[in-house]
Amino acid sequence: MRSITKASIAALAAVTATTSFAFADGLSGDLKIFLDTSNPAPRETFETMIAEFQGMHPDLKIETTIIDREAYKTQIRNFLTANAPDVATWYAGNRMLPYVQPGLFEDVSDLWEGELGENLASTKAAMTIDGKQWGVPYSYYQWGVYYRADIYNELGLTEPKTFEEMKSNCQAVLDSGRKCYTIGTKFLWTAAGWFDYLNMRTNGYEFHMDLTAGRVAWTDDRVKQTFANWRELIDMGAFIDNHTAYSWQEAIPFMAKGEAAAYLMGNFAVDAIKDAGVTDDQLDFYQFPMIVEGVPMAEEAPTDTLHIPSNAKNKANAKAFLQYVASADVQTEINAKLGQLPVNNKSSVNADDKFVSQGFEMLNGAYALAQFFDRDAPAEMAKVGMEGFQEFMVRPDNLDAILTRLDAAAKRIYK
């Protein structure tokens, strides 16, 4: 990630100075912002962005509070209820439900009307509950399959477009004495990436959202079909051995040494893969392929968002700030600093970074965006589910018992 410099501050000032906002004329009064951007680069990025917004509106008094991300998760319900700020960071998808359903987040559907809504279209489904939008996104990043292009070239393989092609490639990799995929499931969540993609490609985005929201039984035959597809890869021996012993970082050397050909992972892993010795020429990326023809291609793209609490005292100022953050030029600049992707499809990205460029194009064309299993499902259900995914990868014969256990947990948790 890039650090904030005087030059980058000047660049942000230049783009924001020329941007107009429907809600931003003559702002005065107060604006109270709560952020969970406590890590150095996000903190500096937001502080700079807020300073520029302040410069555009000198009569506006802005108060910013930055809270450690983990502490923020435990405090958000209390401050939304008791002494709400005007703007608060959070996440898209079902993670909004606990605050939308009891009326703690403000409906901001008017911000999604017209051009801005068109520019943020790829995330509209993830920001929508009961037909309304409850915030705006400011950043996301893609998931997909990062692979050793040199190994694929050696074996005469091309990027798969279907699950059958994916399995055929895998068999060729196995026949060469390598594993198809590295993975480390010691901390569980990496297995959830496989479940999410297999389920969305088998049953579709809406089904996946219904499952993570507790509206579909885990013992449903459609869920079993997702696991049947997964088992085809497991039975082939597609994954590295003893993956429960490794973190996601500890699984990278298998790919770096050429012992595994690919990794299903988020874009944040690229630097770590390169640091392990994989060159830019050796590394490439492809979209998780189609499994069932006709099922729209949704993607995994954890999305960071801004919301207006229902109890906010300065909602007009808050809307102006949300519209500012969602604008194309501002998103271009802040995401360059964050090392992530702008959500606004009129933004630009570093064309020299092939992974950022491919991810930006893929997510802008996605049918819908999932937020990852541990964001789309409640925390307790996510833990039980991910434990089940890891167990299945090691003992696939336990599937019926795993699904029965997950279904019983869901009935208790969602009740």
List, as one string, the DSSP characters of 64-132.
EEE--HHHHHHHHHHHHHSS--SEEEEESGGGGHHHHTTT-B---GGGGSTHHHHHTGGGTGGGEETTE
CA distances from 13 to 24, 329, 338, 341, 358 (A): 16, 10, 17, 20, 28
3-state secondary structure string across 209-260: HHHHCCCCCCCCHHHHHHHHHHHHHHHHCCECCCHHHCCCCCCHHHHHCCCE
Query: Is the distance from CB of 143 to CB of 266 less than 8 angstroms?
Result: yes
Look up the pTM and report it: 0.85
Q: Quick one: pLDDT at residue 39?
A: 86
Question: Region 114-133: what's the mean pLDDT?
Answer: 94
pLDDT of residue 352: 87
* Residue 351, pLDDT score: 86
Average pLDDT, the chain: 92
In tens, the pLDDT along 89-111 reads 999 988 898 999 999 999 999 99
Alpha-carbon distance values, 206 to 142, 163, 175, 202, 376 (Å)? 19, 20, 37, 11, 12
Handedness of CA 23, 25, 30, 35 (dihedral sign): positive
Residue 14 pLDDT more than 90? no
- Rounded to an integer, the average pLDDT of 352-359 is 92
Q: To the nearest whole percent, how much of the chain has pLDDT over 90?
A: 88
pLDDT above 70: residue 16: no
Name residues whose C-beta falls within 8 Å of residue 58's C-beta, 6 or more positions apart in sequence. Answer: none
Share above pLDDT 70 across residues of the chain, in percent, rounded to a whole number = 94
Question: What confidence category does residue 206 fall into, taking pLDDT thresholds of 50, 70 and 90?
Answer: very high
pLDDT class for 25, splitting at 50, 70, 90?
A: low
379 pLDDT tier (thresholds 50, 70, 90): confident
Q: Pick 304 or 1 by higher pLDDT.
A: 304
Confidence bin at 8 (pLDDT 50/70/90): very low
Residue count (the chain): 415
Q: Which residues pair with 316 in a beta bridge?
A: none
Q: 3-class SS at 29? A: strand
Q: pLDDT tens, 247-294?
A: 999 999 999 999 999 999 999 999 999 999 999 999 999 999 999 999
Closest by CA to 311, choosing from 35, 23, 22, 77, is: 77
The per-residue pLDDT for 173 is 98
User: Domains in the chain, ordered, with CATH?
Assistant: 6-141+301-369 (3.40.190.10), 143-300+378-414 (3.40.190.10)
Packed helices 379-394 and 189-203: angle between N→C axes, nearest 10 degrees: 90
